[in-house]
Chain A
Amino acid sequence: MESLIQQASSYAGSIDGVILLVGWIVGFWFIAVEGIFFWLIWRGRAKPGVKSQYITGKEKHLKRWITWPHALVLVCDVFIVIGAAKVWYDIKLQLPEADSTVRVIGQQWAWVFQHPGMDNELDTADDIFTTDTLHVQNNRTYHYRLESRDVLHDFSVPVFRLKQDAIPGRSITGWFRPTVAGTFDVQCAEICGIGHGVMGGRIVIEEASEHAAWIAQNSTSAQ
């Protein structure tokens, strides 16, 4: 996974872990079943004068070739459910204490980001509003409040493995904690009309001093 896309949040690794867990389990099944399948085709190819066998499927010694793997599938499911549910619980059902809160607003067809100003409080006079670029500080836990002004949108930051639909009329709270400084893509992941394809944004993850400077510069200029 990491060779395809960087991990830049505290939970990206555990989501990739679930993907790998499922990958190993279903990869094993896929290869085993396809292998048996092609082997049976090769082995059973018609030969002149050889009649096929009459098998009803009730023979115990043959039926177990179906019932055992079938039980094994169930066991694999249990492992996958446990692995996935744990990650889901940590990311979606837990809300760690926030160091800071931002508001993310989707609209046709742009992202509006509301950052707290110097006071680190949202919805105060020194808030910083930007369009299409979200500034956050590395290694800091953020809550986001996700809203939409018109249709459904979806706030997706692939390097964070973060994705959440934005719904008009609701404010959805979630969290993330960046772990790598840099600039990354924000995508809208829910079709939202003609401009859906250009509704991209960038997330800028800065180290503490850099971020503080950005806040200072912009919250004063905003006033």
Chain B
Amino acid sequence: MADASVTTVEGAVEHHAHEHHGPQGILKYIWSTDHKIIAMQYLFTGLFMGLVGGLMAYVFRMQLAFPGISVPGFGVVSPHEYNALVTNHGSIMIFWVAMPVLIAAFGNFLIPLMVGADDMVFPKINRLSYQVFFVSAVLILASLFVEGGGFGGAWTAYPPLSAQGDYNLSSLGATLWLIAVALEFIAFLLGGINFITTMMNSRAPGMKAYDIPLVCWMIVIASILFMLSVGPLIAGAIMLLFDQTIGTGFFDPARGGDPILWQHLFWFFGHPEVYVVLLPALGITIDIVATFSRKKVFGYKIMLYTVVATGVLSFFVWAHHQFIAGIDPRMANVFMVTTLLISVPIAELCFVVIATLYGGSITLNTPMLWALAFMAEFLLGGVTGIFLGATGADIYLHDTYFVLAHFHYTFFPIAIIGTFAALTYWFPKMFGRMMNDTLGKIHFWGTIIPFNFIFIPLFVLGLGGQHRRIYDFQNFPELAAMQPFRVFATMSLIVMLLFQLVFFYNFIQSLRKGPKAERNPWKANTLEWTTESPPPHGNWPPDQLPRVYRGPYEYAHPDREEDYWPQNLPA
């Protein structure tokens, strides 16, 4: 193992340096450059924001089920508050929950540990990334309480509504919302630099490109997709900011601008963004499925190349969000073809995960249940997307609850199921204690069953012609009769939210009193399981950084008695 320490000697020196001069006490948790602490910061901020987003959903779902009532804990929901709640629910769940938790928290925690590095390549940029993110989170929350209320023009922020205070009646809220989103992008660009560089340059000796665990690849590919797609939207956001504040007219037709331009800039980012959050969740799923079915991933390279293909294709599909938005109708069928083509690699990804189960020896514990649920539920989200990608069908389904149910069947598995899968799987490594499996399973079923009961009725409502972002359907005679579906969905949501208490109880209790976790409680192969739980500052003792001899998924290898073969064990 001597040569292993030679190659990382620089990192080791630096690591000693900040151990001596680094901040102490509580400041250690605020001002640290340790990737694990930054991961925790992102994780807890993301979970907190998830709670906020979930409670927002509770408020507006109550309004939809029982229009005009005083919602317990909130009061009567005014039309503007309703719009602000749905807008910020969407923005928060994507930008302040899915991204910080899946990419930033798990990317930060896992990438250095999984590639055998002592920290990120640029620890200070990493800290800056969280700090910018924190400011953006404060701004988006503050925007709800300013004069005029929060921004209520939907998370897509289409101008002219978003561009002019005369139209949205919440000009300060809209500006703060926009600045918060722009800052969030900057935070993730800074974080992405680190993920990409660390995985490319700081791998343990012996770790070749195809020995990297898939979840690391997924987070890095997601970061690259994000970097490539977000530029146009940042430019667009600044144009929109100028329209809002200094009276330019980029998106104002009265002054020669074009509102459709924003839609192109937004969705050119917006569609790859779906894959930016999907990929980490998929990577988490495949790693957990491999571990608990004791199987090598069925086709590591197939997986990797299909993900790259999906990423490339995702840059050519954006206009499927705009079929009836006033773009040239001749363009629509071109985008339908590219959109439906994406079903090929995505289907392939699903097949690979499913094929990995073949011949396995499957243990259904809490993390595995979450990982399998991701696959089962995401599949419904995937196939319902085909309806919307098909131009002829989208004329009717566009902007209905069918769309809403469709993307919740993709985003919920990604942001919520993926998060719980990762959290329950890596909890022992992150906090050094085991979670309670029984409570974990109660929480699992208490989340998954109500989730389906929330969104299946919404598919029906959407097919029945119910449009999104309307605060009271009693105004529409044809829709009023479908009220029982709305009540049922809302009740299911309340049940699901209540079951989250089980999770928080389990989380806190396990953190305090859970049995101590050994280094490798799941008998997994990847490098993070070779160090202590939780890993010390620097991850491994400086002279014992791991060396890699094989790929990450060598389970049940015929040459070996035991059914796993850690990456760092010499042959």
Point out residues on A near B: beta carbons under 8 Å.
1, 4-5, 14-16, 18-19, 22-23, 25-27, 29-30, 33-34, 36-38, 40-41, 44-47, 50-58, 62-63, 65-66, 69-70, 73-74, 77, 80-81, 83-89, 91-93, 108, 150-152, 154, 156, 158-159, 161-165, 167-170, 172, 184-185, 187-198, 200
Please determine whether B396 and A15 come into contact, CB atoms closer than 8 angstroms.
yes
Closest chain A residue, CB of each to CB of B400: A189
Q: How far is A47 from B398 in the complex, measured between Cα atoms in Å?
A: 48
Please determine whether A193 and B379 come into contact, CB atoms closer than 8 angstroms.
no
Q: Does B54 contact A (CB under 8 A)?
A: no
Please determine whether A4 and B324 come into contact, CB atoms closer than 8 angstroms.
no
Q: Mark B192-220, 1 if CB is under 8 A from A, else 0.
A: 00000000000000000000000000000
Please determine whether A191 and B361 come into contact, CB atoms closer than 8 angstroms.
no
Q: Does B362 contact A (CB under 8 A)?
A: yes
A185: min CB distance to chain B, Å: 5
Q: Which has the most chain A C-beta neighbours within 10 Å: B80, B83, B384, B392? A: B392
Question: What chain B residues lie within 8 Å of A200 (beta carbons)?
Answer: 475-476
Contact of B336 among A38, A84, A152, A184 (CB under 8 A): A84
Within 8 A of A (CB), among B96-148: none
Point out residues on B near A: beta carbons under 8 Å.
79-80, 82-83, 152-154, 158-161, 167-169, 253-254, 258-260, 293-300, 302, 324-326, 329-330, 332-333, 336-337, 340-341, 343-344, 347-348, 350-352, 354-355, 357-364, 372, 375-376, 379-380, 383-384, 386-387, 390-393, 395-400, 460, 463-465, 467-472, 475-479, 555-558, 563
Contact of A57 among B152, B298, B354, B475 (CB under 8 A): B298
Question: What chain A residues lie within 8 Å of B158 (beta carbons)?
Answer: 151-152, 190-191
Q: How far is A87 from B343 in the complex, measured between Cα atoms in Å?
A: 21
Q: How far is A58 from B362 in the complex, measured between Cα atoms in Å?
A: 22
A191-B354 in contact given A56-B296, A84-B392 (Cβ < 8 Å): no
Q: How far is A161 from B293 in the complex, measured between Cα atoms in Å?
A: 47
B330: min CB distance to chain A, Å: 7
A73-B347 in contact given A52-B293, A92-B329, A193-B152 (Cβ < 8 Å): yes
Give the top 4 A-B pairs by smallest Cβ distance, nearest first. A169-B253, A158-B465, A87-B392, A57-B299
Q: How far is A89 from B336 in the complex, measured between Cα atoms in Å?
A: 13
Closest chain A residue, CB of each to CB of B472: A197
A88-B152 in contact given A26-B386, A52-B361 (Cβ < 8 Å): no
A26-B160 in contact given A63-B299, A83-B390 (Cβ < 8 Å): no
Q: How far is A38 from B393 in the complex, measured between Cα atoms in Å?
A: 30
Q: How far is A192 from B396 in the complex, measured between Cα atoms in Å?
A: 19
Q: How far is A138 from B357 in the complex, measured between Cα atoms in Å?
A: 58
A–B complex contacts, Cβ < 8 Å, 29 sampled: A4-B465, A18-B392, A22-B387, A37-B354, A37-B357, A37-B375, A40-B354, A41-B357, A41-B362, A44-B357, A44-B362, A51-B563, A52-B293, A54-B556, A63-B299, A66-B348, A69-B351, A70-B351, A77-B343, A92-B391, A156-B467, A159-B478, A163-B398, A167-B253, A169-B254, A191-B152, A193-B161, A194-B152, A196-B470
Q: How far is A141 from B472 in the complex, measured between Cα atoms in Å?
A: 33
Please determine whether B478 and A5 come into contact, CB atoms closer than 8 angstroms.
yes
Please determine whether B168 and A193 come into contact, CB atoms closer than 8 angstroms.
yes
Please determine whether A163 and B169 come into contact, CB atoms closer than 8 angstroms.
no
Please determine whether B393 and A15 come into contact, CB atoms closer than 8 angstroms.
yes
A45-B364 in contact given A51-B556, A91-B395, A169-B253 (Cβ < 8 Å): yes
Please determine whether B344 and A164 come into contact, CB atoms closer than 8 angstroms.
no
Please determine whether B357 and A197 come into contact, CB atoms closer than 8 angstroms.
no
A55-B295 in contact given A66-B302, A77-B341 (Cβ < 8 Å): yes
Contact of A73 among B343, B397, B463 (CB under 8 A): B343
Contact of A19 among B362, B379, B393 (CB under 8 A): B393
Closest chain B residue, CB of each to CB of A74: B344
Please determine whether A46 and B392 come into contact, CB atoms closer than 8 angstroms.
no
Q: How far is A69 from B360 in the complex, measured between Cα atoms in Å?
A: 21
Question: What chain B residues lie within 8 Å of A162 (beta carbons)?
Answer: 395
Q: How far is A93 from B392 in the complex, measured between Cα atoms in Å?
A: 12
Q: How far is A53 from B558 in the complex, measured between Cα atoms in Å?
A: 9
Q: How far is A190 from B160 in the complex, measured between Cα atoms in Å?
A: 12
Please determine whether A151 and B360 come into contact, CB atoms closer than 8 angstroms.
no
B107: min CB distance to chain A, Å: 26
Please determine whether B83 and A196 come into contact, CB atoms closer than 8 angstroms.
yes
A62-B358 in contact given A56-B296, A152-B160 (Cβ < 8 Å): yes
Question: What chain A residues lie within 8 Å of B347 (beta carbons)?
Answer: 29, 69-70, 73
Closest chain A residue, CB of each to CB of B353: A37
Closest chain B residue, CB of each to CB of A26: B383
Closest chain B residue, CB of each to CB of A172: B326
Question: What chain B residues lie within 8 Å of A152 (beta carbons)?
Answer: 158, 160-161, 259
Q: Which has the most chain B C-beta neighbours within 10 Å: A14, A47, A73, A74? A: A73
Known: A14-B392, A44-B360. 4 other contacts (CB 8 A): A52-B359, A54-B555, A151-B159, A167-B260
Please determine whether A196 and B354 come into contact, CB atoms closer than 8 angstroms.
no
Q: How far is A163 from B154 in the complex, measured between Cα atoms in Å?
A: 19
Q: How far is A16 from B395 in the complex, measured between Cα atoms in Å?
A: 10
Please determine whether B326 and A167 come into contact, CB atoms closer than 8 angstroms.
yes
Q: How far is A92 from B350 in the complex, measured between Cα atoms in Å?
A: 35
Question: What chain B residues lie within 8 Å of A81 (beta carbons)?
Answer: 333, 336-337, 340, 390
Closest chain B residue, CB of each to CB of A152: B158
B17: min CB distance to chain A, Å: 44
A44-B359 in contact given A18-B390, A57-B300, A191-B83 (Cβ < 8 Å): yes
Q: How far is A56 from B340 in the complex, measured between Cα atoms in Å?
A: 29
A36-B556 in contact given A83-B392, A194-B79 (Cβ < 8 Å): no
Q: Which has the most chain B C-beta neighbours within 10 Å: A51, A156, A197? A: A197
Please determine whether A193 and B167 come into contact, CB atoms closer than 8 angstroms.
yes
Q: How far is A62 from B357 in the complex, measured between Cα atoms in Å?
A: 13
Please determine whether B259 and A167 come into contact, CB atoms closer than 8 angstroms.
yes
Q: Which has the most chain A C-beta neighbours within 10 Å: B159, B330, B387? A: B387
Q: How far is A47 from B330 in the complex, measured between Cα atoms in Å?
A: 57
